Structure formats: structure tokens, C-alpha cells
Chain A
Amino acid sequence: MTPAELLMWVRGPALQFATVVFVVGVAVRILEILLLGRKPDLAEARGSEVIGGLRTIISRSIPDRGTLQRSSFNVVAGYIFHAGFFLALFFFAPHILLLHDVFGVYWPSLPTQFIDALTVVSIITLLAVLFHRITHKVMRFLSRPSDYVAWLLTILPLITGYLAFHRVGLAPPLLMALHIGSVELLMIVFPFTKLMHAFTLFLGRYYNGAIAGRRGVNA
């Protein structure tokens, strides 16, 4: 298989397969959570579930002072690589083209140098995160093999994307194929690992906020 053929394969059948696994997996997991439902609260409501739930989705994104002091590295590093990953994913022109192909909508892209710098910062941060996970006793104790797999699959698209953009080491079609392939790998394992938090964090925060909201307190 030539690099060009590999590129065609990852842009064709492999992407179709990864999309099916990703979409079916995410849909099943979300529906399972929703359909399990919650025990009815028979007490009289003292506030709005909906407002409390929505407010908590946002408020939990802002770290409280105590958490920031206790786990400053986790909070700061987490923010940096999440923001870098998000911006590179949704605001790099070739990615927008891909998303336009799927959803039919365009939005402006960010300058490539900016995305490039973000990618480098995200890669460095993710390496620091791994170092922290390995060297921190509690973190290491809590880590499972699937956590390391999730880390690897998160950093791979960033590294391969950087190499593909700068065309370092290998033939450009091969680098591009490796980049797209690494994203497909991420899509395939996504619903079955902690990476699913990208969707479930909203459900979790909403539930917490709604429970508190019904009782008339802030979550």
C-alpha cells in the first residue's frame, strides 16, 4: 500500500468505520444514562431544577479557590491543553473544511501560526501532565491502564498533526494519513474510555445542579 493509497483509505472506509463506532457508542452511552432516570424527589421544590442545572454546567468550569490552591497544576495544565486541543480541532482551516463537509456550516479559521503555537503548547502541557501523573503518588495509584491509553490517544493527533503540517520525516501523504488515522483511533475508543467525559460532564453537572436547585441552594 502506497502512502497515497493509505491516505485514501483513512479518508474513506476507515473514517466511515470510525464515525459509526463513535456515533453509535456515544449515543448508546448517553441514552443508557438518561433512560436509567433518577429516583423521583417527592419533597416540595424550593427552587428551579432547570436553572440550577444550567447554572452548574457553567459554574463548575470556574475552579473554586480551594481547588485551585490544592491542585493548581491540574487546573492550569488541564485548561491549557483542553483549550489548545479544542481550538486546534475547531479553528484550523482544514478541520473546518472537514466539519463543513459533515455539518454543512462554515466558520472563520484562526491563523495557522497561532494554531501551530497552540499545538506545541498543548503537546508540552500533555507531556507535563503525564510526568505529573507518574510522579505524583496519589495520581499514580489512581491511574489505570485505560488512563494512559486515553492520554496517548489524545496526544497522538496533536503530534501527528504538527508533523503533518510541517511535513517532517516522512512523505506528506503518509504524515497526513497517520494524522487522520490517529484521530480515527481516538474516535473508536472514545465512547469506551474516560474520554467520554467530553459529553457526560454536561449530564453530571446538570444532575448535580438540578438536585441542588430543587432544594434552593447553589451546587
Chain B
Amino acid sequence: MTKDQTIGEALRARGVSRRGFLKFCAATASLMALPPAMVPKIAAALEKARRPSVIWLSFQECTGCTESLTRSHSPTIEDLIFNSISLDYHHTLQAASGTAAEEDRKTAMKENYGKYLLVVDGSIPVGNPGFSTIAGVSNMDMLLETAAGAAAIIAVGTCAAFGGIPYADPNPTKARSVTAFLKEYGNRLPNTFTVDETGQTDPVDVTNKPVINVSGCPPIPVVISGVLAHFLTFGKLPELDSLGRPMAFYGKSIHDRCYRRPFYDKGLFANSFDDEGAKKGWCLYKLGCKGPTTYNACATTKWNEGTSFPIQSGHPCLGCSEPDFWDGGGFYKALSTPTGDITRTAVYAIGAGAAAGVALGALNRSKRAHMRKTHSKVGIDDLEKGDKS
């Protein structure tokens, strides 16, 4: 498969029929909530599109995102798409490492300057450049350098999108999400900046580089392929929500699309993991489900070829596609419950209130006694006081 092949040629070379290709286009349109009339346009655009160069940078992450994406079962839509891109650099997957691998990245950047897609998974530590390096280059420098020539950046996984687990309190590495990092450091020149290799003539301010957040721990593979297909078809980013996520996948909450929602509405809840409610598949809200505040497509696209998703398997949603999900007050505590020990506070407050009440009560009684003691009746002289003056 050469880099000059179009996606259509690449898919045909892999034995994908025209019918199969159109089915894929229809599924993509459906996933992205596009009207059926868009299917031929998607097909035409993908047919002609050159395989895009993709550079994948892995920073402070657990490789779960890559694992999720590479565990897609063949022949899925995501499989087709991922085999249709030119993944020029992914240091976790590629065999090469060190100088040779870095040269590959720089070559890909130079050849596709301004056109390549940059995928980032993992957060960026700004506490110390040495906390996370690749081939001796800090994550900060590598992102600044590679973002300069990117057409767009896709922040894959909650770590890249919102900081994720490294960002969790107390955030020892001072981890930043891609968006936060670019906002803070986007106008700085990377220490590794070289004019010749990337073809840049001026330092590039990457503060406002378009970023698509594909959050989740890990994210759903089909969301990545959907975003890629949209970008290839329309040459622009899909509609995003306030957190920079594609509306087509993150437009509705888990709660809204959950098949257990009717039980919530009826007030039928599992109170423990093995009670009658749990066995009957009732709502998991009381077990800490974060579905009501979590926006993702798990409840519809599901996982493992549409087999299931956490709630269907009997476990509450952790809210992994939302910012700060790790510090959300406990996975098994319902959203409406206090994070601290409110009972102890209330008991202490009753004690303090009782003491203060008794003290004030005694003061009031003493005041009353004093008033009674010093009280004098109004006499005839008092009535004449006004006249005298």
C-alpha cells in the first residue's frame, strides 16, 4: 500500500467490494447523524481522498487507548479506516525506536506539512520536562513541534482530552490536557525547533490549533474512525460540544440512552450488587452510576462489536469521558450524596447548637429577671412629665 493510493484504491487492494465500501459509508453517515443523502458524497470523497498522514504521539498514558483501538474486530468500520490511513509515526506500535523513528516523524511532518492529522493520547507534564520524554525530547517540546504543521489535533482518551488520571488530585506531574497545554504554552518555541526539518520559516503559534477531544478511558474505537471519516469527507472538523467533543457521539448522556432508564423513572433501583434489584436489571444510580452527567455513546454503540457496555454488565458508569472523573467523590457514591462525613458534622453541630442555645437561653432569662426587677409602674407623675417639659 503506497502513500499515494486513494482510500478507494487502498480498500479495493484489500479486497473490499464496492458494496462493502458503500455499506461502510452508510454506517458512517448514520453514526455521524448525517442524512442518507450524504452517503454518496461520503463515498465519492473517500474514494478520491489520499490516505492522510497521521502522526500519533503517546505521552503520559497507559496505552489503554491504543489497546482499545487495535482490539477492534475485523472487518469493522474502524478496521477499514485505520487500514486506510498512513500511520507514519506511533512509537508504541512501531518496531523502530530512537533516532530512526524520530527521523520518520520529521520526514512525515515535512512531506505533509499543514495537512497531517496529529493524534495525541496521554497528558502533558509541565512540572518537569524530564517526567516524560521520547527519544530525549520532552512531551512539551514534541507536541509544540508536531502541532505546528498539523491540520488538526485529535486528543484521544480522557488524559489527552481533560488530563485524566495523571491530572487527578494532587497532580504530581502538573499534567495538562492538550487544549490546556496549547492555551498555556502554545505561543512558545519548542527547544527542539529547527527550520530545515519541518520546512517552517517562522515560529508557529499553535495556541488556537483546532483540537477534537475524543474522551473516554478508553474511548470507543468507532468514534475515532467516525471523526477521521468526517474529516476526510468534508475536510473540516465535525460539530463539537462545549468540551470540544463530536456532538454525534457526545451529544446525549449515557442516562438518556440507557436501556435501564425506565427503571430510574419508576423509582426502581439496585441497592447492592447482588440484591433482587440488581438481578432484575434495575437502575444502578444508587450504586454510584454517573450516567446522568456523562456524555458518551457507550449505551448505543457499545463495546466488543456491540456486545455490551458497563451498565449492561451490571456496573455503574464511572463517568470516564468527563473532566475530573477520577476526583468525582467516589465511583460508588451517588451524585446527590455528600463527599464528606455529613453525619459527624451534624452531630457536632447539634452539640454546638445545644451549648449555644442553652447559653443564650440563660442570658435571655437573666435579662428578663433583670427587667422584672427594675420594672417600675407608670404613675401619675410619669403622665405629667410631658406637660412639664
Contact = CB atoms under 8 A, between A and B. Distances in A.
Interface of A: 2, 4-5, 7-8, 11-13, 15-16, 19-20, 22-32, 34-37, 93-95, 97-98, 101-104, 106, 108-113, 167, 171-173, 176, 180
B337 A32 contact: no
Given A4-B322, A110-B267, A31 B338 contact: no
A89 to B, nearest CB: 12
Q: Which 3 A-B pairs have the closest CB atoms?
A: A31-B357, A27-B353, A35-B361
A93 B268 CA distance: 9
B271 A106 contact: yes
Given A2-B324, A32-B364, A109 B267 contact: yes
16 contacts: A4-B327, A7-B335, A13-B340, A15-B340, A20-B348, A35-B365, A36-B364, A36-B365, A93-B286, A94-B334, A94-B335, A101-B338, A102-B342, A106-B271, A111-B266, A167-B253
Contact of A97 (B292, B334, B342): B334
Interface residues of B, number: 46
Contacts, number: 139
Contact of A32 (B286, B339, B342, B361): B361
A44 B337 CA distance: 53
Interface string B170-212: 0000000000000000000000000000000000000000000
Given A5-B324, A8-B327, A24-B352, A172 B365 contact: no
Given A8-B329, A15-B338, A97-B285, 15 more contacts: A4-B323, A4-B324, A11-B329, A16-B342, A16-B345, A19-B346, A20-B349, A24-B349, A24-B356, A26-B353, A35-B364, A93-B264, A97-B336, A102-B346, A112-B264
Given A93-B269, A110-B267, A12 B349 contact: no
B361 A93 contact: no
B353 A93 contact: no
Contacts of A110: 267
A12 B94 CA distance: 46
A111 B356 contact: no
A108 B323 contact: no
A176 B286 CA distance: 16
A23 B343 CA distance: 11
B41 interface: no
Nearest to A106: B271
B339 A8 contact: yes
B265 interface: yes
A108 B286 CA distance: 13
A28 B356 contact: yes
Interface in B321-377: 322-325, 327-329, 334-340, 342-343, 345-346, 348-350, 352-354, 356-358, 360-362, 364-365, 368
A7 B334 CA distance: 13
A167 B292 CA distance: 9
A27 B356 contact: yes
Contacts of B353: 23-28, 31
A108 B362 contact: no
B86 interface: no
A213 B324 CA distance: 60
B112 interface: no
Contacts of A8: 324, 327-329, 339
Contact of B346 (A23, A34, A173): A23
Contacts of B343: 101-104
B242 interface: yes
A94 B293 contact: no
Nearest to A174: B293
B282 to A, nearest CB: 11
Nearest to B353: A27
A176 B319 CA distance: 15
Contacts of A27: 349-350, 353-354, 356-357
Most buried by A among B327, B346, B357, B362: B357
Contacts of A16: 338, 340, 342, 345
Contacts of A94: 285, 334-336
A113 B361 CA distance: 46
A65 B190 CA distance: 83
A36 B337 CA distance: 38
Contacts of A32: 357, 360-361, 364
B329 to A, nearest CB: 6
A176 B339 contact: no
Interface string B283-324: 001100000110000000000000000000000000000111
B267 A93 contact: yes
